[in-house]
Each structure stands twice: as structure tokens, then as C-alpha cells.
Amino acid sequence: MNAPSYDTDVLVVGAGPAGVAAAVMAASLNLRTMVLEAGPVGGKLHRISSLENVPGSWSTGPQLAEALAADLERLEKAGRCTVVEGLAAKTSGHDDRAELALDDGRVLTAEFIVVATGVTDLAPADAEWITASPDFFAPPLWRATPQELTGRTYVLGGDRPLGTWLRAHPKVTTTLHVLCPPADTYKAAEVEDDNRVRLVPVSHAAITKPTYGGGWTVTVNDQDGTKTIYAAMSVLNNLGNKPAALGGLVSGEDGYCPPRQQHRRIRIAGDLRSARYQRVATAQGSGAEAVLAYYYDTALPGGGGIR
Ligand SMILES: Cc1cc2nc3c(=O)[nH]c(=O)nc-3n(C[C@H](O)[C@H](O)[C@H](O)COP(=O)(O)OP(=O)(O)OC[C@H]3O[C@@H](n4cnc5c(N)ncnc54)[C@H](O)[C@@H]3O)c2cc1C
């Protein structure tokens, strides 16, 4: 029987910190490497306006993203990696190969696939504690510039980008009124002493258009059931995220994809693994580790074969 022919040995889905680490590791081991990415190389790094906890002298995420893009470009030029643009839809593992179906109908095959698609933004419609007018749209807090915050500003949710945004804009004096459901209390704790933040504990918030004027009316039920009505000039989204899982992956009740529960030819790396490890350095470590596990199992002469 002929050996199966694949488009590539290792197919990496997603070029955030986890996917790039996987690709760099695979290329350095002389494995044929392909990276599929739907957007710019760097993933969520593009949102980190102030970066402190990553090895190296990076002070912002975009600086590191640029370095990762240069790394992939260098590998492409050396013929050790191919970067393909596209949106992955579904992955599947088979006895002799792993497959990835793209939303445009293309299908890529590999001996082994690393899925590192991270997480995607939650919208107000995803949050049980919010009801909103159909025309309501909340721009993301992480993208807001201080100049845009004119008038009373409300923030939906106390997710971690709040702390990042405040650190990135130390001179801003605007008060952010942060609607904080019980599940976000522990995340908002890091900013509770910042006098530019007013945490508003909520059990429910309704957002409607005011009868007169611009902005939004925000009706808040606090955690004791007391109702208060606020007038907001702007409302920003800081609700957090949900796993960007592909079709065909095994996921838990929370939507994350436990690495050990997938087909033996499919590994999960980075933020998609669990809400617990969402940091650049752990994402990079897991990307490299996924490829090393494959290498020692299979590609290395004498390896035990993909288990
Ligand atoms: C505002 C903010 C601030 C943060 N601050 C810090 C910090 O200070 N320190 C820190 O350590 N961490 C921080 N983080 C977390 C850090 O950014 C993540 O842990 C890290 O980026 C995860 O890397 P990843 O590769 O798993 O996922 P991502 O960075 O999310 O990359 C996933 C990639 O997959 C691509 N993708 C997704 N779906 C598909 C698909 N279907 N097909 C093709 N491509 C797809 C995306 O376009 C993206 O490029 C912050 C995150 C945010 C949002």
C-alpha cells in the first residue's frame, strides 16, 4: 500500500502566539509546515496596548505581532513554511490523515493538525444579564481612544481588557462606569482601587434608546434587586470572549476544547484549551509543545507513532 500523501506534515490553524510558536517549532524540526490564518498574524496581540508579562523587551502587543509576522516571513522565504489565507470551518481526524475544511470549500490534508484559533468576542446578545434594543451596538473598549470618550461612559462587563486599557492610558481622567455581573467580580478586582473606575454591581441591565437626545438609557437592577436608571453618552463592550472552536472538535459544556479529548491527529493549543490559561507565554508554550509531542511520537525515526 502506498504511503498517504498529505498537503503538509503539520497544518497549524491560527497565527496568534500559539500558532506561530507551533509553526516555528515544526519548521525548525524540518517538518513540512503550513499555517492557515483568517486575519493578520499575531491574533489578539493586536489588542494589547500595554504588555508586561512576556519574555523579551516588548511593551505592546503589536510590537510582538510584528516580530512574529517577520519570523513567519523568514521561514517562508527559506522554503520551510507556507502561510495560507482562509477561514477554517471544520476539522476531522482519520486513521491515515487529518483534514481541514475551509468555508470556501477548499480541503487541506495533513498528517497532524494544531488548532490554535483562540477565542472570539462575546456580543451583548450572548450575555444573559443584558437585554438591548435591536439597533444597539457597543464598540469594544480595547479599541476606544480617550478622545472618543466624551460624556458619561458605561462599560459592559469587567473583563481583563479594562485593566490593560487603564494602564495604556495613564493620563485619562474620564470615569468609566463598569457594569459588573457577579461572574466578573474577581476580574474587576485588579482595578477596584483605580479612581477612574466606578464598579456598578448588576444582576440585569436593559439598554434602550432615550425618547429624546442621543446616547442610551441604561436601566440597571443591582444585585439586591434595586432598579436605577442612567443616561449614557457611550456604552462600550468589555464582555469577554467565547472559544473560537471549529466544527468537528470535541468541546466541553463551556465550549472550550480539552486537548486530551481530541482525535489523536488533532492537537489544541493556546486560548482555545481553557479559560484558565489565557496568557501569551502559556499560548506560546502550548503551541511548541503540541508539535514536539507529534515529533517524538511519529516523525522522529523510532518514534512510537501517533497515539
Ligand atoms: C485586550 C487584551 C489584553 C491582553 N493582555 C494580555 C497581557 O497583558 N499579557 C498576556 O500574557 N496576555 C494578554 N492577553 C491574552 C493573550 O492575548 C492571549 O492569551 C493570546 O493572544 C492567545 O494566543 P492564541 O494564539 O491562543 O490565540 P489568538 O491570539 O486569539 O490567535 C488566534 C488566531 O486564530 C485566528 N483564527 C480564529 N479562527 C480562525 C478560523 N476559523 N480560521 C482561520 N484562522 C482563525 C485568529 O484570526 C487569530 O489570529 C490579552 C488579551 C486581550 C484581548
| CATH topology for the 8-121+241-299 domain | FAD/NAD(P)-binding domain (3.50.50)
Torsion of CA 25, 111, 246, 183, to 10 degrees: -40
pLDDT of residue 218: 96
What is the phi/psi pair of residue 24, to 5°?
-65, -45
Q: Half-sphere exposure of 191 toward its Cβ, with a 13 Å CA cutoff?
A: 26
Q: Where are the domains of the chain?
A: 8-121+241-299, 124-237
pLDDT of residue 300: 66
Same topology, domains 8-121+241-299 and 124-237? Answer is yes
* Lookup: cell for 158: 469587567
Q: Cβ(90) to ligand 1 under 6 A?
A: no
Which parts of the chain register pLDDT below 50?
Answer: 1, 307
pLDDT of residue 56: 85
Beta bridge partners, 155, equal 178, 236
Name the residue of 11, 44, 50 whose CB sits within 8 Å of the most ligand 1 atoms, as the mutation to test its pocket: 44
Q: Cβ(37) to ligand 1 under 6 A?
A: yes
CA of 95 to the centre of ligand 1 (A): 31
Name the residue of 51, 54, 83, 117 whose CB sits within 8 Å of the most ligand 1 atoms, as the mutation to test its pocket: 117
CA dist 185 → 70, 166, 233 (Å): 39, 17, 24
Q: Cβ(271) to ligand 1 under 6 A?
A: yes
pLDDT of residue 297: 82
pLDDT of residue 33: 97
pLDDT of residue 115: 98
pLDDT of residue 286: 97
CA of 277 to the centre of ligand 1 (A): 12
pLDDT of residue 55: 85
Q: Cβ(153) to ligand 1 under 6 A?
A: no
pLDDT of residue 182: 92
pLDDT digits 0-9 by tens, 166-194: 999 999 999 999 999 998 999 889 998 99
| CATH number of this structure's domain 124-237, picked from the four choices 3.50.50.60, 3.40.30.10, 1.10.10.10, 3.40.50.10420 | 3.50.50.60
Q: Cβ(200) to ligand 1 under 6 A?
A: no
pLDDT of residue 307: 44
DSSP code of 95?
Answer: S
Residue 29, number of CB atoms within 10 A of its CB: 18
Residue 298, number of CB atoms within 10 A of its CB: 18
